[in-house]
Structure 1
């Protein structure tokens, strides 16, 4: 789950628990919940890595994932509890990896996400590469926002479009 304040991860866990309480889900014991944060604003990841229950705020968040740049996550301590409860981990990813993940999702699935979605895709990719998630395992990756909300960051890595005259022969020559 892409995590800024931590509220969404907590709400997702609560939702699953409520579904179980009304018998719409059988068992949550095999569920794992993971926290994904951008490098430059990863106070929950820092606390998790130190095995601490205290989240130390980031004074000046610096990341392309502006919607996750919450230096003092109000629900951070609850996220740490949820990670323990659901055998999860907290992991960070850098800006280049975030932008690469946005492009990967667009190319492979046709989904244009904002950088927060790139954070979750990038962390998922890392976890599969590290063997923390099996590539054949059923996994839900939260992609929570449309890329049109934050085009400035992705524009730095996109190829510039080729400008040409509106001529069928010239366009056909380029696109094949």
Structure 2
């Protein structure tokens, strides 16, 4: 599951698989599925895929917490649609709440602090499991592509507020013990 903005990364990943096959370092991938994950508010590739279109219609004003994916006119969009067809793929979107919830899930369960693009891929995984498109026992690779420090303004509102302690040795000692 690849978070998609311009589409270049998904296209490059597929090219990498082909090159590995060419040099016999990768076997049959006919049972592999590529999945494009985009945020609602900027999901032109998902829209085109679901309409079975050959061309991507640009989004005029992208609106999402996943700013790194807010590319309304994805340069590699047409190629992503071809790759999804080639690799028995899917395309799915998720909303801002789902993205932020996935960021918290990764932080709590895996200790990974991701930027919103990583939340998009995890959120799409959850959605596709719920829809029955992915079995919960399947092996899945979710690309978590960036550090949460890149986009703190997007996620500050969901982070737990730190407890403030007075600069008092007794209070600090009580907390440490």
Which category of TM-score, normalised to the shorter sequence, fits these structures?
A: over 0.9
C-alpha deviations, 1:69-109, integer Å up to 9, x for none?
Answer: 00000110110111111111110000111011000001000
Change (3 A) 1:57 1:22: same
Give the TM-score taking structure 1 as reference length.
Answer: 0.95
| Corresponding position: 1:162 with 2:138 | no
Question: For the residues of structure 1 that align with 2:171 and 2:87, how far apart are their CA atoms?
Answer: 57
Change (3 A) 1:162 1:60: same
Question: For the residues of structure 2 that align with 1:94 and 1:174, how far apart are their CA atoms?
Answer: 38
Residues 114-123 or 130-139, more deviating: 130-139
Q: Which runs of 5+ in 1 are unaligned?
A: none
Question: For the residues of structure 2 that align with 1:133 and 1:84, how far apart are their CA atoms?
Answer: 17
Moved over 2 A (4+): 165-176
Corresponding position of 2:36: 35
Secondary structure at the aligned position of 2:62 is classed as: coil
- Give the number of equivalent residue pairs: 176
Report the alpha carbon displacement of residue 155 of structure 1 after superposing the two structures with TM.
0.4
What RMSD, in angstroms, separates the aligned Cα atoms of the two structures? Answer: 1.5
Corresponding position of 2:62: 61
Secondary structure at the aligned position of 1:150 is classed as: helix
